[in-house]
Amino acid sequence: MSTRPAKTLETFANPSPQRDYWVRMEIPEFTCLCPLTGQPDFATLVIDFVPDRRNIELKSLKLYMWSYRNEGVFHEAVTNAILDDLVNAIKPRYMRLTAKWYVRGGIFTTVTAEHRKKGWKPAPSVTIDDSSQLSTRG
């Protein structure tokens, strides 16, 4: 596998496709360029997803993110483009991408985009409170 920026996302088979489980990936060093000024923009990206048949290989994800370093793109556009590419690569049951942009001109921006596979219904969530009581929420 290359160690240069690349738009290719490698995947691997989901080891537990029979079960809904949550994957979170945090990318604290995402960079691209402001399309108006050419100055760097910095963000922490948080990818939350429920895989279906495929998962994302991490080194290819790193190289993919690196490919944006010299691209001029608006926050909203790059957030949605990344989500589209990730969804096309693994076709998850659910995916949310949250881009937390660092301050620019005194303003912090957060962009969140989501995808839901048609027909997928999440199972009720389970919480365990401090008194060790198990409960479900639908």
Q: Which of 20, 32, 41, 130 is catalytic?
A: 41
Cα(33)–Cα(55) distance, rounded to whole angstroms? Answer: 28
Annotated active-site residue 85? The verdict is: no
Cα(110)–Cα(132) distance, rounded to whole angstroms? Answer: 35
pLDDT (0 to 100) of residue 137: 63
Q: Which two tokens stand for residue 110?
A: 């957060």
pLDDT (0 to 100) of residue 22: 93
Alpha helices by DSSP H, the chain: 58-66, 75-90
Instruction: Please answer whether residues 86 and 9 qualify as being in contact, where contact means their C-beta atoms are separated by less than 8 angstroms.
Output: yes
Q: Which of 34, 48, 52, 85 is catalytic?
A: 34
User: Is the Cα torsion angle 1, 99, 109, 76 positive or negative in sign?
Assistant: positive
Annotated active-site residue 20? The verdict is: no
Q: Which fold has domain 11-137?
A: GTP Cyclohydrolase I, domain 2 (3.30.1130)
Per-residue pLDDT of the chain (138 residues; tens, 9 = 90+): 567 888 999 999 999 999 999 999 999 999 999 999 999 999 999 999 999 999 999 999 999 999 999 999 999 999 999 999 999 999 999 999 999 999 988 899 999 999 999 998 888 877 777 665 656 665
Convert the pLDDT of each residue in 103-134 to its tens digit.
988 899 999 999 999 998 888 877 777 665 65
Closest CA to 14 of 60, 55, 59, 58: 55
pLDDT (0 to 100) of residue 3: 78
Cα(22)–Cα(51) distance, rounded to whole angstroms? Answer: 8
pLDDT (0 to 100) of residue 126: 74
Instruction: Quote the mean pLDDT of the chain.
Output: 91
pLDDT (0 to 100) of residue 104: 83
Could you tell me the maximum CA-CA distance found in the chain, to the nearest angstrom?
Answer: 54
